[in-house]
């Protein structure tokens, strides 16, 4: 029987799973897999399984935000997932990181979904072994990384970026950024803390690989071919890191 939303079955899913927020980024990963097979494209969940240098890997999407990321974690766990890597984009609070990587060692849980699993004092922390391999892989690809703390929040247009409505409402984003920078937070996203928390509770080795595509409040962004190249590199680093992790397992 297939999973409720993702339409996946245990025989179709590998124990190593890469999660992309963007369903269409899965197609970028797919081109680097050997013999990729479509599992399903259901709702926001686009899922393929193939091999990379002989290692069976599943890549799927979560859509935007913690609620559907938790659903993806649950249904991949039902299918036998043992290692989870969130591969996505992040808003950096450091101006020198555009086009580089944040691999958080932990995340502030300012989204609501993980609180339905466990009390707020439970930490959202990454698997150290997987983080170390991600660091080495990024370095080998000529980019720099930060192993800081990320902050995961639910409200993109209430906490992360001005909109017509937020401006009309007199909502000021600046205090959010000022507070997080005072806490030495590296970046902001909408999924990481939930996935790290749920993965830890499941006993799944979980980490986050994010490429910086925007700076705070989108004051500077990667665009055009530069953005496409950054996301392509993100996908290649994710696959290479999972392969290296499998060799050391």
93-148 tens-digit pLDDT? 999 999 999 999 999 999 999 999 999 999 999 999 999 999 999 999 999 999 99
Strands 101-102 and 145-146: parallel
pLDDT band at 1 (very low <50, low <70, confident <90, very high): confident
Q: pTM of the entire structure?
A: 0.97
C-alpha angle 104-107-108 in degrees, rounded to nearest 5:
155
What is the dotted CATH code of the domain comprising 10-248? 3.40.50.1580
CA distances from 73 to 160, 211, 229, 230 (A): 25, 21, 27, 25
Confidence at residue 38, expressed as pLDDT on a 0 to 100 scale? 97
Mean per-residue pLDDT of the chain: 97
Inter-residue contact 192 to 89 (CB < 8 Å): no
Strand pairing class (45-52; 55-61): antiparallel
> What residues does 45 pair with on adjacent strands?
42
pLDDT per residue over 30-72, tens digit each? 999 999 999 999 999 999 999 999 999 999 999 999 999 999 9
Q: Is the pLDDT of residue 2 over 90?
A: no
Per-residue pLDDT reduced to its tens digit, 178-227: 999 999 999 999 999 999 999 999 999 999 999 999 999 999 999 999 99
Nearest alpha-carbon partner for 60 in 94, 37, 89: 37
């Amino acid at each position: 029987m297939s999973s409720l939303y993702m339409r996946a079955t245990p025989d179709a899913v590998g124990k190593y799973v890469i999660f992309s927020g963007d369903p269409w980024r899965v197609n970028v990963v797919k081109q680097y897999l050997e013999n990729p097979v479509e599992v399903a494209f259901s709702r926001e969940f686009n899922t393929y399984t193939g091999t990379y240098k002989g290692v069976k890997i599943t890549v799927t999407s979560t859509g935007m935000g913690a609620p559907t990321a938790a659903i993806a974690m649950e249904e991949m766990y039902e299918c036998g997932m043992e290692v989870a890597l969130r591969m996505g984009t992040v808003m950096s609070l450091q101006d020198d990181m555009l086009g580089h990587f944040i691999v958080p060692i932990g995340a502030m849980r300012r989204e609501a979904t993980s609180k339905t699993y466990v009390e707020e004092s439970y930490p959202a922390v990454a698997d150290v072994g997987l983080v170390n391999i991600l660091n080495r892989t990024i370095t080998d690809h000529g980019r720099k990384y930060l192993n800081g703390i990320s902050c995961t929040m639910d409200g993109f247009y209430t906490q992360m970026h001005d909109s017509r409505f937020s401006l009309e409402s007199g909502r000021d984003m600046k205090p959010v950024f000022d507070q997080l920078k005072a806490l030495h937070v590296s970046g902001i996203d909408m999924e990481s803390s939930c996935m790290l928390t749920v993965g830890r509770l499941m006993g799944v080795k979980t980490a986050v690989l994010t490429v910086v595509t925007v700076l705070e409040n989108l004051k500077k962004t990667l665009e055009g071919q530069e953005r496409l190249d950054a996301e392509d590199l993100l996908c290649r680093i994710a696959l290479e890191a999972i392969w290296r992790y499998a060799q050391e397992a």
